[in-house]
Amino acid sequence: MQYITSKDNNRVKHISKLIKSAAYRKECGEYIVEGTRLCSDALVSGANIVTAVFSQQAAEKYSEQVSTLCEVCESTFVFSDKLFSQISDTKTPQGIMCICKINDRTPDFASDGVFLALEHIQDPSNMGTILRTAEALGIKGVVLTDNCCDVYSPKVVRGTMGAVFRLPLMFCSDLKNVIDNCNAQKLNTIATVVSGSAVNITDLSQNEKKHCMLLIGNEGNGLEQETINKCSIKVTIPMLGRAESLNASAAAAISMWEILRGLSK
């Protein structure tokens, strides 16, 4: 393991840019995972970990985890405690960080199951919660439009609690084309909307739910009208209170749970 103390080191500069820049992450095809739990989760989930970085204190404190990561990584580094704290994206760094290759798995829309599409989700907290919930409930894969926030930003990665390592992800510039292809494959495309004329999501049949893609839109504006028009089914969440709409992550969680309810029986 190479010991590094200077912020001017090229390896340190690379990590700092991966933490701060979505464009740089996309260019390099890499992202940062930080913390003992997340790094362990990346390892057991089969994430492609290429580099591990430890603070001097963590290298001693978590010797067993350090040893395991060293076995699977192409390279490992020890940063001085001060340097690690300076580049860390967390308030109280644990001293363990990994560089992972971006997920290259894509959803298999030909298989039965429920898929999710997210259009213009901007809030990293919402994105992290949605992906964490999707993976927990058994969503088969997620489509994300290019105008969504970066799922590989440190904040989103932390919010997913490991889901980003395991979910098949597809990034697209034209969601309408994806919907057309899904419709052609007899995969029901279900748009979530705020409309009295839409079907209550609780009234969907098992046949409509067993092979479908659920679409969730932007926090403030929902799905684009053209996207809604392309979908084969429009649903709404029945609400008895006076609120006009739900937070995007709450709406996604309720919708995913309702669609997946009973499918495994």
Helices (H), 90-174: 124-137, 154-160, 163-166
Compute the distance between CA of residue 140 and CA of residue 17 in angstroms, rounded to an integer.
Answer: 31
Note down pLDDT in tens along the chain; length 265 residues. 888 999 999 999 999 999 999 999 999 999 999 999 999 999 999 999 999 999 999 999 998 988 999 899 989 999 999 999 999 999 899 999 999 999 878 898 888 899 999 999 999 999 999 999 999 999 999 999 999 999 999 999 999 999 999 999 999 999 999 999 999 999 999 999 987 788 999 999 999 998 999 999 998 889 999 999 999 999 998 877 766 667 899 999 999 999 998 775 5
CA distance readout (Å), 81 to 4, 9, 58, 78? 10, 15, 9, 9
List Cβ neighbours of 71 (8 Å cut-off, separation of 6 or more). none
Are 127 and 216 contained in the same domain? yes
Are 76 and 185 contained in the same domain? no
CATH of the domain at 30: 3.30.1330.30
- The answer to whether the CB of 34 falls within 8 A of the CB of 93 is yes
The amino acid at 77: F
Q: Indicate the residue among 101, 127, 144 that finishes a domain.
A: 101
Helices (H), the chain: 10-20, 22-28, 36-44, 56-61, 63-72, 81-87, 124-137, 154-160, 163-166, 175-184, 206-209, 225-230, 248-260
Q: Between helices 124-137 and 248-260, what is the axis angle to 10°?
A: 10
Are 88 and 146 contained in the same domain? no
Kindly state whether residue 81 falls inside one of the protein's structural domains.
yes
Range of the domain at 23: 2-101
Are 227 and 142 contained in the same domain? yes
- Tell me which long-range contacts 16-20 makes (C-beta under 8 A, separation of at least 24): 16/87, 18/99, 19/87, 19/89, 19/154
Are 134 and 181 contained in the same domain? yes
Are 41 and 96 contained in the same domain? yes
Kindly state whether residue 189 falls inside one of the protein's structural domains.
yes
Kindly state whether residue 143 falls inside one of the protein's structural domains.
yes
Kindly state whether residue 265 falls inside one of the protein's structural domains.
no
What tokens appear for 101 in the block?
A: 């290759």
State residue 117's pLDDT score. 98
State residue 264's pLDDT score. 58
Are 17 and 121 contained in the same domain? no
Kindly state whether residue 108 falls inside one of the protein's structural domains.
no
CATH of the domain at 118: 3.40.1280.10
Are 59 and 146 contained in the same domain? no
Q: Indicate the residue among 52, 74, 101 that finishes a domain.
A: 101
Compute the distance between CA of residue 78 and CA of residue 18 in angstroms, rounded to an integer.
Answer: 18
Looking at the 3D structure of the chain, how many domains does it have?
A: 2
- The answer to whether the CB of 173 falls within 8 A of the CB of 145 is yes
Are 122 and 242 contained in the same domain? yes
Compute the distance between CA of residue 83 and CA of residue 121 in angstroms, rounded to an integer.
Answer: 34
The amino acid at 116: L
State pTM to two decimals: 0.92
Compute the distance between CA of residue 219 and CA of residue 224 in angstroms, rounded to an integer.
Answer: 12
Kindly state whether residue 150 falls inside one of the protein's structural domains.
yes
Are 16 and 92 contained in the same domain? yes
Give ∠ CA 57-22-174 in degrees, rounded to 5: 145
Are 122 and 191 contained in the same domain? yes
The beta-strand segments (E) located in 69-152 are: 75-79, 96-101, 113-118, 142-145
Are 239 and 172 contained in the same domain? yes
State residue 247's pLDDT score. 86
Kindly state whether residue 106 falls inside one of the protein's structural domains.
no
Kindly state whether residue 121 falls inside one of the protein's structural domains.
yes
Q: Indicate the residue among 67, 101, 135 that finishes a domain.
A: 101
